[in-house]
């Protein structure tokens, strides 16, 4: 085997020095951000809420890119700060409970994973965690969690029957550590418990009252059955396979993805936005391949 030996010292180019300065500046910014917005336990200094506007995924997004920044060469303190805040927010949102939203009355997280929500929000929630594998792939806790999270979509957890291996579907747009939601979702499921807004908060959709929050989500009902958004779950299978090399993760990921390829071919090469619990295209949307929440016939603008 040949080896390349480099023993000549050269002055780094200006662009490299500027990138190093940028990384160092972000390290300082993270330290200030953590001090201002988290307590010593890693709990966010906020009112924990459930929902699509300001739910647990938004809490986790406060750590967005911290793990990849460390992987790019930032100081070890960045990874340490991330872990304090990640662990703290897991405990904070496990303790946080809804009153009116049924699915989260016993905690917004269960087994360190959202009880059930859609993969727009799961994907946002996992953004820093997924990239932790680039930062410290040998960490025991990370390995255990990633295996457990991937297992939620491989029926390894008897309390979370999200996946139907016969029809090769994830059974609902709402899925998670307490399994799939197999009824129509309500505006309350999406918006969270009633909250006073005026003079206190500025919701991202521009609402001025809780009634307006409910109105925004009033048509987000048809969640039963599979949706291409659920392909986001394959990120867990892919990462688990990359981390462990265990073929079961690769096999599940390919099985589920290939099933979507076949459905798309069967639908004139147009990916359907609803698959029924019986495996038929449009099966939970009156036969409409374009039906369902977040479907081709759905608009988030109202």
Nearest to 181 by CA among 223, 214, 228: 223
Contacts 24+ apart (CB under 8 A), 192-195: 192/49, 192/50, 192/51, 192/53, 192/54, 192/55, 192/98, 192/101, 193/49, 193/50, 193/98, 193/99, 193/100, 193/101, 194/100, 195/47, 195/49
Quote the CA–CA distance of 244 and 130 in Å, as a whole number.
14
pLDDT, the chain, mean: 96
pLDDT by residue (tens digit) across 259-289? 999 999 999 999 999 999 999 999 999 999 9
Residue 170 φ/ψ, nearest 5 degrees: -90, 130
User: In this predicted structure, what is the pLDDT of residue 159?
Assistant: 96
For residues 163 and 171, is the Cβ–Cβ distance under 8 A?
A: yes
204 has pLDDT over 90: no
Domain residues of the chain, as ranges? 23-254
pLDDT for 302 beyond 70: no
What share of the chain has pLDDT > 90, as a percent? 91
Average pLDDT in the 98-114 region? 98
pLDDT at 249 over 60: yes
- Report which of 178, 170, 185 is spatially closest to residue 227, judged by C-alpha positions: 170
Q: Give every CB contact of residue 77 below 8 A, 6+ residues apart in sequence.
A: 27, 31
What CA–CA distance (Å, rounded) separates 34 from 81? Answer: 8
What's residue 202's pLDDT?
79
Quick one: CA torsion of 245, 251, 252, 256, rounded to 10 degrees? 140
By three-state DSSP, how is residue 164 classified? strand
Question: Considering the entire predicted model, what is its pTM?
Answer: 0.93
pLDDT at 198: 86
Count Cβ atoms within 10 A of the Cβ of residue 91 and give its class: 0-12 exposed, 13-18 middle, 19 or more buried: middle
């Amino acid at each position: 085997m040949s080896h390349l030996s480099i023993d000549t010292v050269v002055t780094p180019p200006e662009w490299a020095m500027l990138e190093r300065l940028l990384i160092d500046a972000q390290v300082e910014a993270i330290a200030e951000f953590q001090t201002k917005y988290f307590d010593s336990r890693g709990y966010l200094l906020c009112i924990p809420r459930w929902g699509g506007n300001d739910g647990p995924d938004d809490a986790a997004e406060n750590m967005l890119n911290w793990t990849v920044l460390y992987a790019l060469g930032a100081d070890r303190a960045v990874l340490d700060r991330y872990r304090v805040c990640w662990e703290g927010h897991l405990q904070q949102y496990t303790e946080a409970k809804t009153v009116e939203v049924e699915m989260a009355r016993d905690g917004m997280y269960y087994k360190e994973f959202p009880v059930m929500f859609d993969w727009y929000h799961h994907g946002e929630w996992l953004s820093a965690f997924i990239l932790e594998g680039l930062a410290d792939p040998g960490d025991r806790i990370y390995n255990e969690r990633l295996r457990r999270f991937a297992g939620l979509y491989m029926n390894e957890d008897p309390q979370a029957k999200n996946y139907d291996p016969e029809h090769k579907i994830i059974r609902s747009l709402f899925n998670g550590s307490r399994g799939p939601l197999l009824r129509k979702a309500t505006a309350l499921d999406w918006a969270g418990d009633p909250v006073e807004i005026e003079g206190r908060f500025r919701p991202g959709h521009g609402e001025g009252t809780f009634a307006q929050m409910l109105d925004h989500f009033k048509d987000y009902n048809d969640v039963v059955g599979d949706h291409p958004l659920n392909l986001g779950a394959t990120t867990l299978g892919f990462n688990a396979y990359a981390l462990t090399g265990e073929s079961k993760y690769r096999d599940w990921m390919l099985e589920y993805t290939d099933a979507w390829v076949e459905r798309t071919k069967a639908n004139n090469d147009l990916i359907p936005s609803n698959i029924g619990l019986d495996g038929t295209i449009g099966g939970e949307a009156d036969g409409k391949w374009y039906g369902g929440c977040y479907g081709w016939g759905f608009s988030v603008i109202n």
